[in-house]
Structure 1
């Protein structure tokens, strides 16, 4: 009797540590190699799920790689979104929504070891790509042409956030403590993150001026548009825009001056006051 009680206790502990069905799920599923080729040139190799003859991709991982924000609207509804793209899937349903249109995925989403998976053919098409090959021997799947939908670029320094929304192309500055916002027009047009890079950098001068440097460059040609903003006590005092630069421009010089370049001139700016000391034609 004592021996029987011990056996029952062991079985009970195993049932707590290993939920019923977990073993069955393991047997019915396995990982295979997934090669992801993004439209912007990135290539990644990740493991993906093969279950009942269908290849699944990680909903949140691929969504994040596409620059989409993800969230659970409720226990049964998962969303990937940006200003340009919105993908919604529902647990227990093969019907998804892509940009407001219903799409039949063929199979329901699958939760597997803390990841949400959906059929890769559906997810690739929803991200404007396609499955181009599946190796019948290894199970490796290759997906090409996935788009990047990043539509917001962030930077922060000294209690202020600096945000550029692709749809507008302007710089929005927010005080993290008061929430007060201001907008500076930049005029960045036709922003395409699949072919262009956008970077925000910050430099402080010896006399406490803030220089915000925004580089918008074509990754294939190397042509670079340079936006330079100079702030004094959080107020904008100088702004310059130079288009189609082919080489880097040194803004903060070793002699303490600031050199602002635009399409016609280079202005030499005094540190501290922000006064123009000299204008040099390009």
Structure 2
């Protein structure tokens, strides 16, 4: 399902949007707008019981997909190639939220109680949720250091980029970045040692 936010404007225009996609559909008109372009849907949208119905072929095309099959008996329509357009990836721990916006690629840290924010550049770019998975994981060392691991994995090849950040009292003390890894890397060793990996491996306690 596409990660788009929806809302209706004062002029009865329904908008589906994210940082990467903008679809505007006006009630009473067959002409829609997709990323600034006028598109003829073929018919006007229908609003019924708080739901809005538009031609499936228009919506599929607007999300970079296509109608692959249609079953005349059941009415089932199969759509392939849809773009998710997911904007953010986030997780939280110990009163802080950690978020990565697809458009920026930086790690944004927010204190849930005070609202104070801090941004850490990661150098990530061209985040594509249709071909890759992005995961955030947290671990604490015996000395109460927080390890934030970010894995950006190619679904097809299974190769991944690993971004590792080490925090002490919410202050960043170490960061490492490794690209194109093919084997699983355990950052926190059983003896409490932190094993960072980038262009060269180094251990930190």
TM-score, normalising length: structure 2: 0.91
Q: Computing the radius of gyration over CA atoms, which structure comes out larger, 1 or 2?
A: 1
1:190 Cα deviation after fit: 2.3
What secondary structure sits across from 2:23 in the alignment? Answer: strand
Among candidates 84, 109, 129, match of residue 20 of structure 2? 84
Gaps of 5+ in 2: none
Show the counterpart of 1:198.
134
Show the counterpart of 1:269.
204
Show the counterpart of 1:62.
none
Larger proportion of helix: 1
Show the counterpart of 2:31.
95
Q: Deviations over 1:30-81 (max 9, x none)?
A: xxxxxxxxxxxxxxxxxxxxxxxxxxxxxxxxxxx11222223348332211
Show the counterpart of 1:148.
84
1:113 Cα deviation after fit: 4.5
1:133 Cα deviation after fit: 2.5
> How many residues end up aligned between the 2 structures?
205
Cα distance between partner residues in 2 of 1:154 and 1:166: 11
Q: Deviations over 1:77-102 (max 9, x none)?
A: 32211111011112232222111222
Among candidates 214, 217, 240, match of residue 153 of structure 2? 217
Compare 166-175 and 220-229 and name the one that shifted more: 166-175
Gaps of 5+ in 1: 1-64, 271-282
1:67 aligns with 2:20: no
What is the aligned-residue RMSD (CA, Å)? Answer: 1.8
1:243 aligns with 2:179: yes
What secondary structure sits across from 2:84 in the alignment? Answer: coil
Show the counterpart of 1:23.
none
1:256 aligns with 2:187: no
What secondary structure sits across from 1:83 in the alignment? Answer: coil
1:176 aligns with 2:112: yes
Q: Deviations over 1:135-160 (max 9, x none)?
A: 33332222222112112211222222
Show the counterpart of 1:35.
none
- 1:224/1:90 CA distance change after superposition, 3 Å: same
